[in-house]
Amino acid sequence: MMELEHSFTIPVSPERAWQVLLDVEQVAPCMPGATVDSVDGDVVTGRIKVKVGPVALTYSGSARFTERDEQARSVTLEASGKETRGSGTASATVRSSLQDEGGQTRVTVHTTMSVTGRPAQFGRGVMTEVGGRIIEKFAANLAAQLAAGGQPASQPGGGQAEAGPAAANGARPRVTAATAASGNGAASAGAGTDGPGELGLPIEELRLPLRAFNSLRREGIHTLGDLSARNEADLLAIANLGPASVKDIKQKMAERGLVLATAGTATVPPAGGAAARTQAEPAAAPPPAARPPDEDAIDLLSVAGFPVLKRALPIAGAVLAVLVLLLSRRRHRRRASARQG
C-alpha cells in the first residue's frame, strides 16, 4: 500500500474544470498505458499496461466514481484490476479536489494504491517509484486535459496522445467495426470462396506465426471474415506486421480460397474504429500510425522524462541474460529448475 499526493494549478475556472473532472470518459484516458474498452454510465472498463524493462504486466478491470461532492468540488475514482496473465491484482483510489485560486484552479490528486501477486515482489522501493511515476504522468495528463477545458486537445504528453485515440476505441465503435468487417468480408471474399462458412472461422485456423497472430488479434481481427475485410495496406499499417507476414497471410488465405480486400474497397480503419468519435469525418483515411491499444504501455523512460529513449526499454532490458535474477526471493525456484535442465 502506498500513498501519493500531487498538486498543480491550471488556468481555467473551477466551474469549468469540475465539468471535465466529472466525465469519466475524459479522465480515464489520462492514465498512461490505459485502454478504455467500454463506458457504461459511471463505470469504465479497460486495461492498463505497465512495462518495466523486460517485465510487462497488463491489468484489466474497471474504474468508477464512488463519491462526488459538488460543494467541496471533490471526486473519488476507484479502480481495480486483475492481471490478465496472472493472479495478481492492483487497485487504486484517486481523490481529486479543486480549489479556487483567483480565477485559476488548484487541483490536488491524492492516490492510494496497492498491488498484490508477483509484481509485489519487486519490493516496496521499486513499486513506490514505478507507481509514483505513473500517477505523476496521470496528474500531468489530467492537468493538460483540464487546461484544455475538456476539448479533445492536442495534448503535450505522449501518454495521453496515445491514450486519446484509445478512448475513442470504445465499446460502441468496436461492435460497429466487427459488424462492418464481417459484412464487408462477405462481399469482398465473394469473388472466389466457398462461402461464408469459412469467414466465420477464427484466424487460429490459418496457423500463422505467433507474432502475426498476436498483432492481428490486437487489431480486433478475430475471424477470417475480419481479415478479408482488410486490404494489404491496412495490414501493413499494423505494428509488427511486415511484408513477409502479409505475404504469408495472403498465401494461407488463398489456400482456403479467400483473398484480402482490394485497396479501394476496405472501409474498416485498422484501429478498429479509431474514427468513432469523429464519425462525421470521412473514414477514408485511417491513421497509418494508429497503434494497437496494447502498445500504449507505460514506459518508465517517458514517464520519467526521457522521451527520446522511449522505445529502448523492452529490448534494452533483455539484451541477454545472466547471473542476476530479477527476483532474489525466487532464487530457489531457479535453482530447482537448473537441476532439471
Partner 1 sequence: MIPAKFEYTRPGSMADAVSALAGGGDDAKVIAGGQSLLPLLRLRLAFPDLLVDIGRLGELRGVRDEGDTLWIGALTTHDEVMRDPVIRQHCGLLAEATATVADPAVRHRGTIGGSISHADPAGDLPAVTLALDATFLAHGPGGDRVIGAGEFFVDYLTTALAPGEILTGVRVPKLGPGWGYRYEKFNLTAQAWAIVGVAAVARRADGHVAETRIGLTNMGLTPVRAQAAEAAASGAEASTAALRSAAARADEGTQPPSDLQGGSEYRRHLARVLTARALAVAAGV
User: Which residue, among 293, 5, 244, 323, has the nearest Cα to 138 in the 3D structure?
Assistant: 5
Minimum CB separation of residue 273 from partner 1 in Å reads 23
Residue 289 makes contact with partner 1 by CB under 8 A: no
Scanning 97-105, 189-197, 281-289, 308-316 for contacts with partner 1 by CB under 8 A, the matching segment is 308-316
Scanning 9-17, 178-186, 234-242, 266-274 for contacts with partner 1 by CB under 8 A, the matching segment is 234-242
Scanning 65-73, 98-106, 193-201, 327-335 for contacts with partner 1 by CB under 8 A, the matching segment is 327-335
Q: Which is nearer to partner 1, 196 or 242 (CB)?
A: 242
Assigned C-alpha cell, 160: 495521453
Assigned C-alpha cell, 107: 487541483
Minimum CB separation of residue 67 from partner 1 in Å reads 32
Minimum CB separation of residue 136 from partner 1 in Å reads 14
Helices (H), the chain: 14-22, 24-27, 124-147, 158-168, 171-189, 196-199, 210-218, 224-228, 232-236, 243-254, 300-304, 313-318, 331-340
Q: Which of residues 14-73 bind partner 1 (CB under 8 A)?
A: 52-57
What is the distance between the alpha carbons of residues 338 and 341, in angstroms, rounded to a whole number? 5
Total site size for partner 1, rule CB under 8 A: 56
124's CB contacts (< 8 A; 6+ apart) are: 2
Looking up cell 514506459, which residue turns up? Answer: 299
CA angle 194, 195, 196 (to 5 degrees): 150
Minimum CB separation of residue 234 from partner 1 in Å reads 17
Assigned C-alpha cell, 270: 485498422
Is-contact 182 226, C-beta < 8 A? yes
Sole binder of partner 1 in the list 3, 40, 72, 86 (CB under 8 A): 86
- Size of the chain, expressed as the number of residues it contains: 341
Residues facing residue 17 across a β-bridge: none
Q: Which is nearer to partner 1, 53 or 190 (CB)?
A: 53
Scanning 145-153, 219-227, 235-243, 252-260 for contacts with partner 1 by CB under 8 A, the matching segment is 235-243
- Taking residue 324's Cβ as centre, other Cβ atoms within 10 Å add up to 6
Binding mask 105-134 for partner 1 (x = CB under 8 A): -------------xx---xxxx--xx----
Chain positions contacting partner 1, by CB under 8 A = 52-57, 85-86, 118-119, 123-126, 129-130, 209-211, 214, 239-240, 242, 244, 295, 300-301, 304, 306, 309, 311-331, 333-335, 337-338
